[in-house]
């Protein structure tokens, strides 16, 4: 081989390596073990990948098939209008896991109570928590949406079927990640050993490793927030947005789908915020299905996730569908938002209490 040939040969080798690393192989490599738990995690990720492929297939043809777009006319447990795609994707996860022998129940944003694997099906040791279609307002206009997932080991008892044992902090997650249905379908996951991204190769029907050990930049230019809520926020969040308006180097990006916004921030840095509003002090995003899984992932990439006063992973939900304010992304940018909140809280505390004599 000549010197001139060598770089080409290396490139070729690199391409070949990429083509060969499938999701299930990657999980086993990460755990460096063929233990029962490693096999389970690999199988769980494989099932999530299958659900993602089924949902991606429906999304790519949504404008051509009947009953894929639009609303069902129902509202979910959160009082939000349910889309046909929400129902479809929710059911896909159930169907894919029902006979898997991997989970004992699935809890989703779309179901008031978890779905328990029936007794005539093999029952597994894990619980899957998920948001089947995140950002579903984007579905009807063919923009990006996502799915978010989290895996927890079944530990407590759930004898009365109310899943109170799931009311634990985010450190209990074994794995978490998301699927982004964009120009390509990507699956990004962590099992507590870094963050890795896979791209669906439709010709193979396989998710192939595309970025390994992703590290979020310490700081980035993007701030991602729905500024339509400006007058409903607390003064601290308004002050933060005034700060980024007045300083060079910031740019706003907001897609209406959390997964897409987080994906951008994971690779390019910045911060995503969904703060509380006057009407909804807890904000909009659900702890168990959205905030905690994404916090797990972003922390694994070197980022931070906070309610403004507490780390998201430390929050213990009071109920299954509890919401939290979410500030997530590059550590410096999250810290900046927190500093406005802390300053505001300090001012509130130190404000003299006026009595009727004053
Ligand atoms: P959904 O899971 O019901 O779609 O709601 C979550 C979505 C997020 O993806 C997104 O960041 C947010 O809601 C957008 O909400 P808003 O329209 O209030 O900005
Ligand atoms: Mg969502």
Q: Are 214 and 299 in contact (CB under 8 A)?
A: no
Helix (H, G, I), strand (E, B) or coil at 139: helix
Q: What is the CATH code of the structural domain delimited by 222-350?
A: 3.40.190.80
Helix (H, G, I), strand (E, B) or coil at 245: helix
Read off the pLDDT of residues 88-119 as tens digits, 9 standing for 90 and up: 999 999 999 998 889 999 999 989 899 988 77
Pairing relationship of beta strands 185-190 and 206-211 according to DSSP bridges? unpaired
Domain spanning 11-211: CATH superfamily: Fructose-1,6-Bisphosphatase, subunit A, domain 1 (3.30.540.10)
Pocket probe for ligand 1: among 78, 89, 130, 134, the residue whose CB has the most ligand atoms within 8 Å is: 134
**Residue 12: CB atoms within 10 Å:** 10
Domains 11-211 and 222-350 share a fold: no
Cα–Cα distance measured from residue 222 to residue 55, given in angstroms and rounded to the nearest whole number: 29
Task: Give strand ranges (E) for 316-355.
Answer: 326-329
Q: Tokens for 331?
A: 């550590």
Residue 244: predicted pLDDT: 97
Q: Which ligand is nearest to the CA of 326?
A: 1
Q: Which atom of ligand 1 sits closest to the CA of residue 261?
A: 11
Q: Rounded to 5 degrees, what angle do the CA atoms 75, 78, 81 make?
A: 30
Question: Which strand (E) or helix (H) includes residue 174?
Answer: strand 173-181
Query: In sequence order, what are the residues at sequence separation of 6 or more whose Cβ sits closer than 8 angstroms to the Cβ of residue 351?
Result: none
Read off the pLDDT of residues 53-63 as tens digits, 9 standing for 90 and up: 999 999 998 77
Read off the pLDDT of residues 265-291 as tens digits, 9 standing for 90 and up: 999 999 999 999 988 999 999 999 999
The rounded Å distance from CA 201 to ligand 1 centre is: 28
Residue 173 has pLDDT above 70, yes or no: yes
Domain ranges of the chain: 11-211, 222-350
Cα–Cα distance measured from residue 274 to residue 305, given in angstroms and rounded to the nearest whole number: 11
Q: Tokens for 284?
A: 């909009």
Name the band, by pLDDT with cuts 50, 70 and 90, for residue 158. confident
Helix (H, G, I), strand (E, B) or coil at 182: coil
Q: Kindly report the protein residue whose alpha carbon is nearest to atom 13 of ligand 1.
A: 135
Q: Determine if ligand 1 sits within 6 Å of the CB of residue 206.
A: no
Q: Which atom of ligand 1 sits closest to the CA of residue 135?
A: 4
């Amino acid at each position: 081989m000549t010197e001139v040939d060598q770089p080409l040969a290396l490139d070729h080798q690199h391409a070949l390596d990429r083509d060969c690393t499938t999701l299930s192989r990657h999980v086993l490599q990460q755990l460096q073990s063929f233990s029962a738990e490693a096999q389970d995690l690999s199988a769980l990720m494989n099932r999530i990948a299958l659900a993602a492929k089924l949902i991606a297939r429906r999304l790519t043809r949504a404008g051509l098939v009947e009953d894929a777009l639009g609303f069902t006319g129902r509202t979910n447990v959160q009082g939000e209008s349910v889309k046909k795609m929400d129902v479809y994707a929710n059911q896909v996860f159930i169907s894919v896991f029902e006979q898997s022998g991997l989970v004992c129940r699935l809890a989703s944003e779309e179901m008031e109570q978890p779905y328990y694997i029936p007794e005539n099906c093999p029952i597994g040791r894990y619980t899957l928590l998920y948001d089947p279609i995140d950002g579903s307002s984007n579905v009807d206009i063919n923009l990006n949406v996502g799915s978010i997932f989290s895996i927890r080991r079944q530990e407590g008892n759930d004898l009365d079927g109310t899943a109170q044992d799931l009311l634990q902090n985010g450190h209990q997650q074994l794995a978490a990640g998301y699927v982004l249905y964009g120009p390509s379908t990507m699956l990004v996951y962590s099992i507590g050993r870094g963050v890795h991204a896979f791209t669906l190769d439709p010709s193979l029907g396989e998710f192939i490793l595309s970025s390994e050990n992703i590290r979020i930049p310490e700081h980035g230019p993007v701030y991602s927030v729905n500024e339509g809520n400006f007058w409903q926020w607390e003064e601290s969040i308004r002050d933060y947005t005034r700060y980024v308006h007045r300083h060079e180097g910031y740019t706003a990006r907001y897609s209406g789908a959390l997964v897409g916004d987080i994906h951008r921030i994971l690779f390019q840095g910045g911060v995503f915020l969904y703060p509380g509003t006057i009407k909804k002090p807890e904000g909009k995003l659900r702890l168990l299905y959205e905030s905690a899984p994404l916090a797990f992932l972003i922390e694994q990439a070197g980022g931070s996730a906070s309610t403004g006063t507490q780390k998201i992973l430390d929050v213990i939900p009071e109920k299954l569908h509890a919401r939290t304010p979410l500030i997530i992304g590059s550590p410096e940018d999250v810290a900046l938002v927190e500093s406005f909140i802390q300053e505001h809280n300090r001012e509130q505390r130190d404000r003299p209490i006026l009595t009727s004599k004053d």
